[in-house]
Amino acid sequence: MISYGKQDINQQDIDAVIEVLQSDFLTQGPKVPVFETTIADYCGANYGVAVNSATSALHIACLALGLDQGGRLWTTPITFVASANCALYCGAEVDFVDIDPITYNLSVEALEAKLIVAASVNKLPDVLVAVHLCGQPCDMAGIRRLSLQYGFKVIEDASHAIGGRYQDQPIGNCANSDITIFSFHPVKIVTTAEGGVATTNDKGLADRMTLYRSHGITRDPELMTQEPDGPWYYQQIELGFNYRMTELQAALGVSQMARLDEFVSRRHALASRYDQILESLPVTIPSQHKDSYSGLHLYVIRLQLDKIESSHKQVFESLREQGIGVNLHYIPIHTQPYYQQLGFKVGDFPEAERYYSEALSLPMYSLLTEDQQDKVYTALEQAVK
Ligand SMILES: *Cc1c(COP(=O)(O)O)cnc(C)c1O
């Protein structure tokens, strides 16, 4: 089976992890700060806070921005559930903004229309999670303008987008947002097995996220309510979690980051090749906005079902039967049973649902060969015939 995504681990990565295993620290040592600096420097952000997953990063980002009971977070329905769940962890409410039919990212037009209504009933969001789907950045200039006008905070969920650029600036520099989060799950662009990082330019936000990552405990006398009792002393000043990244993960991440640009350019070469070979088939290839250099975590096509005899499901099944590990990113969150129980209904976000009825993620990862890509093409040609 040719999977849809796969990690790319070389001998240097392996050596880096072994070196940590033989060192004094398996956790809370020197590698995590190095990884944080590596990410922050790459992205051009002032701070990086490493955690054990992007889901944890989303949670502490929301907490650091003050999201709590009675608060509201908006995001796109076409994303992994974690982009929305983070609000529920904080006791806040979630709502969605429908997608743009061309980029499949949250539509800034739909956002503006929804904000106008929300303002009139005094229910403006506190936080917007802008997800860079497939690695293609959202219209961040548009989102920034609305965030200033309506006073909400912005988190970029860049789980798909490390190594990508927006208006020729690295994604993660937070030029148009408060916090950007990344995922390092093995299917993503670079991996730490499990792991995430939040970048920000705001020291206060970085400090709060650091606190929430580790039980809300500080050893910094500046932050304490009294003089330390002695050198052993620490204080818990918030309710935090154990969301720490291990030294093994950080070492793997530092080593992987050395090849990030190579990974992304390989993904671009594969995407251009897909664009060319798929031209003759009844599918819509991904459209890239001129402001965007995508991280290309995913290569999503849409089936032109009016030109295909089989159904979406049949095409999907045929590809799987032919050994092509296609996938579907994503099932619209508002149609999940858990969210239906919160009051969302099928039909609420029609553009997202239309996307879901046609989308298919083809294999895309740096180790994919042209031979394998040709197999994907042949299988797809067979499936849509
Ligand atoms: C993978 C992913 C996450 C969650 O990442 P983890 O590191 O697995 O917690 C969140 N948002 C998006 C868009 C993702 O693709």
Task: Please tell me whether residues 303 and 225 are part of one structural domain.
Answer: no
Written as tens digits, the pLDDT of the chain (385 aa) is 999 999 999 999 999 999 999 999 999 999 999 999 999 999 999 999 999 999 999 999 999 999 999 999 999 999 999 999 999 999 999 999 999 999 999 999 999 999 999 999 999 999 999 999 999 999 999 999 999 999 999 999 999 999 999 999 999 999 999 999 999 999 999 999 999 999 999 999 999 999 999 999 999 999 999 999 999 999 999 999 999 999 999 999 999 999 999 999 999 999 999 999 999 999 999 999 999 999 999 999 999 999 999 999 999 999 999 999 999 999 999 999 999 999 999 999 999 999 999 999 999 999 999 999 999 999 999 999 9
Tally of structural domains, the chain: 2
Among 204, 238, 257, where does a domain finish? 257
* Ligand 1 atom with least separation from CA of 83: 11
Among 237, 257, 277, where does a domain finish? 257
User: Which residue from 355, 282, 360 is spatially nearest to 324, judged by alpha carbons?
Assistant: 360
Task: Please tell me whether residues 91 and 235 are part of one structural domain.
Answer: yes
Task: Please tell me whether residues 244 and 364 are part of one structural domain.
Answer: no
Task: Please tell me whether residues 265 and 252 are part of one structural domain.
Answer: no
Among 208, 223, 257, where does a domain finish? 257
CA distance 122 to 120: 6
Read off the pTM.
0.98
Distance 11 CA to ligand 1 centre (A): 26
Exposed, middle or buried, 118 (CB in 10 Å: 0-12/13-18/19+)?
A: middle
Task: Please tell me whether residues 249 and 300 are part of one structural domain.
Answer: no
**Contact criterion met (CB below 8 Å) for 188 and 89:** no
**Contact criterion met (CB below 8 Å) for 143 and 164:** no
Task: Please tell me whether residues 245 and 272 are part of one structural domain.
Answer: no
Distance 225 CA to ligand 1 centre (A): 36
User: Which residue from 212, 180, 209 is spatially nearest to 45, judged by alpha carbons?
Assistant: 180
Q: Look-up: residue for tokens 């991904």?
A: 286
* Bridge partners, residue 235, by sequence: 218
Task: Please tell me whether residues 276 and 309 are part of one structural domain.
Answer: yes
- Which domain does 102 fall in, by range? 2-257
Task: Please tell me whether residues 219 and 287 are part of one structural domain.
Answer: no
Which CATH number is 38's domain given?
Answer: 3.40.640.10
* Ligand 1 atom with least separation from CA of 183: 7
Task: Please tell me whether residues 217 and 342 are part of one structural domain.
Answer: no
Task: Please tell me whether residues 116 and 43 are part of one structural domain.
Answer: yes
* Ligand 1 atom with least separation from CA of 58: 10
